[in-house]
Structures are given as C-alpha cells and as structure tokens.
Structure 1
Amino acid sequence: MSIPTGPVDLDTVRHTLETTVMVDQVEIRRPTGTAPLDADTGLVGPVPTVPVWSGNGAVLSAHGLAAVEHLVGGRWLDDTASWYGLVTPLAAPLPQRGDLVTVTAAASPTTGTIGRTWQALDPGEASTVAVARVTRLDEVILT
C-alpha cells in the first residue's frame, strides 16, 4: 500500500475512480411493498420495486476494493465484513438499506457480474470528505 507524502488531491482521486473503476453500468432499485401471492400456483412473486438510479459504477469484491487502494495511492476505504461493495459517483443518490443493485452492463468482456443482484446491507456511506459513494452489499438470488 502506498502512503501519500503530501496533501491528497481529492479531485484527482475522484476523477481516477470515475474513469478507471466506475466503468460499468449499475442500476439501483428500491422495494416498494410486499410480494404478491399467485393464488393458482401458491408461489410468492417478486417484491415490486421502483428505479432509484442508473449510471456508471462498479460492484467490487473485497479483493477488488483492496486493489483500488493501490490504484489511488492510499487507503480510502475501511475494512469490510461484507464481501462486495458498490462504488458510485458522488452525484449518485445514497442507497438505502434493502435497495437492490444490479449490474446491467460491464466494460470487461470477462466479467461475471452482469445480471447478478445484490442487496444494500446498510445505507450508503456519507462523509464530509469523499471521493465516491460506497455501499456494502450482499449478493441475493432472485427467482
């Protein structure tokens, strides 16, 4: 890990993150009610959701989050117990606990994230000094 020796230029760090890390398309949806019951099959359907935001971002594993620290030249994220993190620009809204995050397009042709869905474990992190929005995620399997 590199340690900055002088003042950190937050605009440069933000720009680096937005242009090299947040290169995938992600969608955030918020659950809005209860799942309907199909009376014919007895199965519960999906919980209705409304779109909250769609745009550039990244879903990174804990290993990916650690690698980004080296890219920006310093530690900018605390350790996490969750395995995944959503990184979005500061212009994106703060996700809420329970919001669903789906990767809709990925810049890398070898990604395994397209179409996978995660749930926000906590509200998106906020800070008086920030370079990106970071939200802890846990993968969910939707039927």
Structure 2
Amino acid sequence: MSTPTVPVDLEAVRQVLESTVMVDEVRISRPTGIPVLDVVTGLVGPAPTTTVWQGSGAVLSAHGLAAVEHLVGGRWLEDTASWYGLVTPLSAPLPQRGDLVTVITAKSPTAGTVGRTWQALDPGEASTVAVARITRLDEVVII
C-alpha cells in the first residue's frame, strides 16, 4: 500500500462514495429461527428473518470494488477472497456473519442485482478510521 503524499480528506471520500457508489437500496436481515420443512413438497423453506437495516448501499463484485478504489483516488480496501462486497454508509449497523443482504432497488437498469441475496461471510469490517462499512459476501444460490 502506498503512502499518500498529501493528507486524504476522509469526509470528501465518504461523500463521494455515498453519492456515487451507494445509490442502490439494500436490506440487511438476520435469520431468527429454524427453517421449516414443507411437508407437501418435502423441501426446507427459508429461515424466518428480521430486518436489521434497510437503506442506501451497493453490492459490488470484486472488480467493482477495485473500480471504486480508482474513483476515490486511493486504495482503501484490501484484497478480497470473496467475489462480492457490501458497501454501506457509516450510519448503517455492522452486519454480522450469516446476515442476509438483498438488493431491493438498483439505480442502474442493467445492474442485475435486484432480488438477489448474499450472505455475510464475516462481521462487517470496523475501523477507527473509515469512510464506509465493508462486508464480504457470498451469493446465496437457490436450487
């Protein structure tokens, strides 16, 4: 990681991220019970959930996360082993491992993320110096 030659205005970076990247509506929900077996189909249904937070954010692929680094003019995210990341404002709560993230609406009509669901792989990252909340995600694929 390179050291900036001039001080970084973290508030300006936060504002850029919130106004240009976190433009979709996302929901973070937490499983609160045990999935129920549908005796008619023999399939296990989804676990009941409680909405933890709903508001502005973005689900970005690893390529999207790298592009955001260029947008804000610096590297603010370490390499990721997961393919997706959730970016939410600092006002959003820290997601917990196992929380579910669903994109409710996307600003771009070609986003391809609306209605898809991901699971938080780890608790949301926390830092004493931050410009956004970052949470590693893995897509939940329903077969």
Q: Give the TM-score normalised by the residue count of structure 2.
A: 0.95
- Preserved CA contact (<8 Å) 1:120 1:135: yes
- Preserved CA contact (<8 Å) 1:3 1:73: no
Q: Displacement of 1:46 after TM fit?
A: 1.0
Per-residue CA deviation, residues 55-109 of structure 1 (Å, 9 max, x unaligned), is: 0000000000000011101000000000000000000000000000000000011
Q: Displacement of 1:3 after TM fit?
A: 6.8
Tell me the equivalent position of 2:52.
Answer: 52
- Once residues 109 and 42 of structure 2 are traced to their aligned partners in structure 1, the CA distance between those partners, rounded to angstroms, is 40
- Once residues 86 and 101 of structure 1 are traced to their aligned partners in structure 2, the CA distance between those partners, rounded to angstroms, is 8
RMSD: 1.5
Tell me the equivalent position of 2:5.
Answer: 5
- Once residues 59 and 38 of structure 1 are traced to their aligned partners in structure 2, the CA distance between those partners, rounded to angstroms, is 31
Gaps of 5+ in 2: none
Aligned amino acid, residue 10 of structure 1: L
- Once residues 7 and 13 of structure 1 are traced to their aligned partners in structure 2, the CA distance between those partners, rounded to angstroms, is 12
- Once residues 40 and 79 of structure 1 are traced to their aligned partners in structure 2, the CA distance between those partners, rounded to angstroms, is 45
Aligned amino acid, residue 35 of structure 1: P
Aligned residues: 143
- Once residues 104 and 58 of structure 2 are traced to their aligned partners in structure 1, the CA distance between those partners, rounded to angstroms, is 11
Once the two structures are aligned, what percentage of the paired residues are identical?
A: 78
Gaps of 5+ in 1: none
The yes-or-no answer on 1:101 pairing with 2:101 is yes
The yes-or-no answer on 1:125 pairing with 2:121 is no
Task: Give 3-state SS (helix, strand or coil) of 2:16's partner.
Answer: helix
Per-residue CA deviation, residues 100-136 of structure 1 (Å, 9 max, x unaligned), is: 0000000011110000000000000000000000000
Q: Give the TM-score normalised by the residue count of structure 1.
A: 0.95
Displaced runs of 4+ in structure 1, greater than 3 A?
none
Aligned amino acid, residue 27 of structure 2: E
Aligned amino acid, residue 113 of structure 1: T
